[in-house]
Structure 1
């Protein structure tokens, strides 16, 4: 169980998952993205894009925090 938690909380794994979510959401919505936003026509793929983006940002934040912690020591 300890290994699963370590794997799930890994910034490297989370950034990969975030990028995959972001890319799959964008590939689904690419052709109609601007029209959907202008018309308020939101679907699940838009949520996947937002979730993926925040996952990537969260992982980058964790990585930079770790680097900052390493440079202080």
Structure 2
């Protein structure tokens, strides 16, 4: 229960979460920035944003493939 309370107290903004996940998709997040993200971002928000961005990525690839083929 203490871990959940600690995660809910983290103060990373939504934009910080989106940027961190975006950099993670490209695999170019540096060590110091990564440590800052781990200490500030809420893990639940990271999971939600990651799933949403992955879904957007897959849908965009499907749309591009349909556009090229069609």
Q: TM-score, normalised by structure 1?
A: 0.44
